[in-house]
Amino acid sequence: MTVLQASHLNKYFYQPERFPVLTNISFEIQRGEFLTIVGKSGCGKSTLLYILSTMDTDYEGTLTIGGRLLTGLKQPDLARFRNEHIGFVFQFHFLLPEFSVLENVMLPALKLGRFSREETESRAYEKLRLLGVHEQALKAASKLSGGQQQRVALARALINDPTLIMGDEPTGNLDSANAKNAFDILQDLARQGQTIICVTHDQEFAARSDRTIVMSDGMIVSQ
Q: For residue range 172-194, list pLDDT tens digits in order.
A: 776 777 777 778 888 888 898 89
Q: Which residues constitute the domain of residue 185?
A: 2-222
CATH number, domain at 107?
3.40.50.300
Q: For residue range 73-91, list pLDDT tens digits in order.
A: 999 999 989 988 998 887 6
pLDDT of residue 93: 67
pTM of the model as a whole: 0.85
- Measured CA to CA, the distance from residue 109 to residue 158 in angstroms comes to 10
Give percent above pLDDT 90 in the chain. 47
Closest CA to 158 of 199, 116, 112: 112
Domain count, the chain: 1
Q: For residue range 14-67, list pLDDT tens digits in order.
A: 888 888 999 999 999 999 999 999 999 889 999 999 999 999 999 999 999 999
